[in-house]
Amino acid sequence: MVYPPTDISASEAEEQESVEIPCSGGARKSKLVTSGDTICFPYEDLKTAWDAVVRGHKLSGNGQCFGWRNFESSYSWITYGKFMKKAEDFGSGLEKIGLNPCPMSNVGIYAQNGIEWAIAQYGVWSRSSVVVPLYDTLGPDACTFIIKQAEIKIVICDKENKVRNLLKRKKETPLLQHIITTTTVNQELNTLASEKDIKLYTFNEIENLGEKYSTSVLPPQSSDAALICYTSGTTGVPKGVIMTHENLVSMCCAVNLALEKSSLTKEDTTLSYLPLAHIFGQFMHVWFLMIGARIGFFSGDINRLLEDIKILQPTVLPAVPRLLNKWYNKAQWLIRGKIGTDAYDENFISEASTISACKPFIDSLGGKLRIIISGGAPIYKNVVEFYTKIIGSKVLEIYGQTECAGPCSVNLLDSSYDGKYKNQHSPSSLAAS
């Protein structure tokens, strides 16, 4: 039996967030559209990822931009202005060794999160070219496939074994001409590179070349490709998702607007440890830079992550439920050891003694955390309650995918969350170009 369509009226949440478009047959638009026209760019000075760092430089007053651990107990920082200069020099250096500065040129980055990745990425963008992240989790064949399909001529690497793997597969990637390393490689690799007709450079050599033979910045257009992020797909070879600058920027703006009073400010700090080969990590970088906030890189060892967090003292921390669950279990162990009861029951959350029992764990999170961003999988109710009521942080639950250039739905949860999505806990759907 075929039933007629059900007449579904707009929910309370829809009425709060959107209005019906006249003569559209029921289509709705965000109430953020005050002029009646669709928003293309909420900020006139922010249309590309390159604009994001320029805007961040202005909003922060040339404040701290990226940081990294040089010593055991502190972070070193580079200002927005110095970072932009390094990126521009790196872009000029790429031009000097043969990069054609245009949206058809793809440059591979095969490295762990770090200041060199950021300089290289923005150096590529300063020449209107495209960044193609490479990573190990798909296997060595995947890197070869990506380099060949994307017609990559230049790859930036951070480790000798990655350089060696690329050199050994040169026959499968005939267009590859240059490898830039963030560390000095041994003579064996230099010899192998010469045999394979590949030119090896250090990262500093490219920067120095660019400083000596400086060329004008060629900023990208909003419609230009910014990233090609490859995903495993469900079957077969990796699939490349092309994202424009407009895609990245509009999604970052949409999330920031959706957060309203909890949106980012230039006073915020985050930790960069989620792989920049994936969209979650990329989204966090563009989002923080466009506000003029700070990004500190982890030490490179995931086992020292809590140590990095304690030193950096982030205000916003991206994570996945698996990691949040691990930390939650660690806190439970502390609670059981000090107050002699299981911490599985939600009743423990209202106990003042719980906070005292968890103090070592709370201190390990730096003491300034105001938002934890959870994505990649659902998060349990008791875990949310622990972080909101004991740690004192809001939890921003996000759902998204690479093809959306990040989140497509966000839900900001606080200590009033009871496991049900209602009223202020209704997820916000995001629309981005």
Q: Look at residue 228 in the predicted model and tell me its pLDDT.
A: 97
User: Distances in Å between the alpha carbon of 223 and those of 8, 47, 219, 220, 247?
Assistant: 37, 9, 12, 8, 9
* Exposed e or buried b per residue across 236-256, where buried means at least 16 C-beta atoms within 10 angstroms of its C-beta: eebebbebbbbbbbbbbbbbb
The answer to whether residue 43 sits within a structural domain is no
Distance of CA 99 to the CA centre of its chain: 26
- For residue 251, what are its two tokens? 């999604």
Q: Which domain holds residue 343?
A: 253-413
Percent with pLDDT over 70 in the chain:
86
348 lies in the same domain as 296: yes
User: Looking at residue 280, which CATH number applies to its domain?
Assistant: 3.40.50.980
Q: Which of the two residues, 240 and 3, has the higher pLDDT score?
A: 240
Q: 239 and 266, same structural domain?
A: no
Two structure tokens written together for 350? 């209202």
Domain termination residue (choose one: 245, 271, 299): 245
**The tokens of 222 are what?**
């909003």
Same structural domain, 160 and 266: no
- Whether residues 364 and 279 fall in one domain: yes
Residue 418 located in a structural domain: no
Total domains in the chain come to: 2
Alpha carbon 181 to its chain's center: 23
Single residue among 210, 227, 245 that ends a domain in this structure: 245
Q: Strand 74-79 vs strand 106-110: parallel, antiparallel, or unpaired?
A: unpaired
346-390 pLDDT, tens digit per residue, is 554 445 677 777 888 888 999 999 999 999 888 999 999 899 988
Residue 14 has pLDDT above 80, yes or no: no
Q: Tokens 């490479």 map to which residue?
A: 134
Q: Residue 311 has what pLDDT?
A: 96
Q: Encoding tokens for residue 148?
A: 């060949």
CA–CA gap between residue 242 and residue 238 (Å, rounded)? 13
Where is pLDDT greater, at 211 or 137?
A: 211
**Residue 185 and residue 208 in contact, taking contact as beta carbons nearer than 8 Å:** no
pLDDT at position 92 over 80:
yes
* Residue 433 pLDDT exceeds 70: no
CATH code for position 195? 3.40.50.12780
40 within domain boundaries: no
Query: What are the tens digits of pLDDT across the range 76-89?
Result: 999 999 999 999 99
Terminal CA-CA length for the chain: 40
Task: Give CA–CA dist 280/396, Å, rounded.
Answer: 13
- The region of weakest confidence among 250-264, 317-331, 393-407, 417-431 is 417-431
Domain boundary (245, 265, 299) is at 245
Is 432 inside any structural domain? no
Phi, psi of 96 (to 5 degrees): -60, -35
pLDDT at 139: 74
pLDDT mean across residues, the chain: 88
Q: Is the pLDDT of residue 17 over 90?
A: no
Q: Closest Cα partner for 206 from 105, 92, 119? A: 92
Per-residue confidence (pLDDT) for residue 15, from 0 to 100:
59
Residue 360, H or E segment = helix 359-364
299 in a domain, yes or no? yes
pLDDT over 90 for what percent of the chain?
66
Contacts 24+ apart (CB under 8 A), 238-244: 238/138, 238/142, 238/145, 238/146, 240/132, 240/146, 240/149, 240/150, 241/402, 241/403, 243/279, 243/402, 243/405, 244/433
129 and 268 together in one domain? no
Residues 176 and 312 in one domain: no
Phi then psi dihedrals of residue 179, to 5 deg: -125, 125
Same domain, 276 and 389: yes
pLDDT of residue 141: 86
Shared domain for 192 and 103, answered yes or no, is yes
Mean pLDDT is lowest, of 92-101, 116-125, 138-147, for 138-147
> Which of left, alpha, beta for 153 (phi over 0: left; psi -120 to 50: alpha)?
alpha
Give the torsion through C-alpha atoms of 259, 262, 266, 268, to 10 deg: -110
Structure tokens at 256: 């920031």
| pTM for this predicted structure | 0.88
pLDDT at 165: 93
Which residue did the predictor score with more confidence, 258 or 6? 258
Cα angle, residue 86 at apex, residues 84 and 88 outer, rounded to 5°? 70
pLDDT in tens, 267-315: 999 999 999 999 999 999 999 999 999 999 999 999 999 999 999 999 9
Quote the CA–CA distance of 272 and 381 in Å, as a whole number. 26
State the pLDDT confidence band at 178, using cuts at 50, 70 and 90: very high
**271 belongs to a structural domain:** yes
- Give Cα 382 to chain centroid, integer Å: 27
Is the same domain home to 240 and 313?
no
In a domain, 118, yes or no: yes
pLDDT tens profile 198-210: 999 999 999 999 9
Which residues are paired to 29 by β-bridges? 19
pLDDT band at 411 (very low <50, low <70, confident <90, very high): very high
